[in-house]
Structure 1
């Protein structure tokens, strides 16, 4: 089946499901996108008859009848109760998979096309049922431009090249050539997992950090996914939180650093150089990140242990003081 015919059949089903009344053939011709291509009435009726036969072969319950006793022309509709699925019971993991698939494939383009079709139906005088089934909403994760070409390359078994930046928007991009193994959703973000030919290692790349176009390269079927590879495990090890490497004991001034108190564990009241406060324990995963975080609180915190973390915080304070002195110097 050609893509144009398939699209026309979808438009026809959407039209006939979105109305409670029977639509005559001339109303369908003027309303459903795709039938305008028929140059003559005879061409339209041949096209329409083929589409009706196709829908019935697919199991779509196409009804014929009259909306009122005064109608003289037979019309068509699809009874929603006969065509819709009954209530579906899903286990929690099944519901998660369905939600993820909906977020992936309910693209804004498809949502716009469906909304436009419903608007045309209303403009043509067709009574459209206002139900959740008649509304298509775009998924929140379908906006990554690199998603579609990466999925296509993974299915085709072709390598891809793209520019990727490691950190924030100001970081420079570098060209990468990757053998894609799959695309994984992890903590609200999309990641590509594959073999990085430039690094000769397994890597994962956040799709939001891919800049420019994704270009497929090489023959189809050249990329083979290793048996037993755990794509989510690769992403979790790379993008997930680091394991706890130690615990820091920090004095926090009374009534200050509420966010630090929530993240850590308040142990007991504690005074530091005569100032009242609280002893807070913090799990340390990356000492450099924790040091920057604590340094941002200034005199409201003091690192009691470990000594290397206290030295890192003092070094950051000294660097900030030196920078401020340089800026105020004449």
Structure 2
């Protein structure tokens, strides 16, 4: 949401909360500075959009009037009783869990939300000390370009379209859930062309995603166990393994999947050998290529060849 729009919504909320009586639309136009310079048509359109935005955020804007106060139009107010939250308290274990959760997000839009939430808790007097958990350093990255659109579409129940694995087909999907599995984000949703649920790895979305239509366009069918469905559609279990030389202290996302082993090959002194299990349909080659000089495939040959092909393609050389 643009900063100007956010400020206008905050000012409108303050005006409605501070009113002791019903406030007419014309009065709100004078109270909220952004409305004053708008033409009547633009103001009416913007005001209706702002009301819808606030209500979608859970702000209870109600309409009514005092007897004889308005003649031809309703007045507006925010119901304080429904708007204000009751006091919230947490025990020490709950505060610890909140502090730990605040350290998870690093790269997604949700990081801003965690910062805001912790700031509000501290302002209310809760002693949330996330630095106590530095040693644990839990992280869920969300660096995939498709993440933000898929995340918002899942919340808004908006259909999305994208191309997958470099194919030409446009997949139209009703996004139901985002799930984190084995170091990657997956989207669970209804593939409308196939009329069946499908799981999509965000890193394999090659074009898009783009939202299609309005929010609230679909609902998850009644009786659908999304969690169970997600588990049933998870990527296959590892059916192969690779021997990877990894620079010591680098690429922990890779080494924690495997077991330290001996290769019988002379490696540079700052490298260690790891046996890494993977599924044949996994993106291990792309992940190793992304590691650059910090990871080298020792075996199998086909995996090493695919990593070399990806590196040459990235360098602009013929594969």
TM-score, normalised to structure 2, is 0.41
Which has the higher Rg, Structure 1 or Structure 2? 1
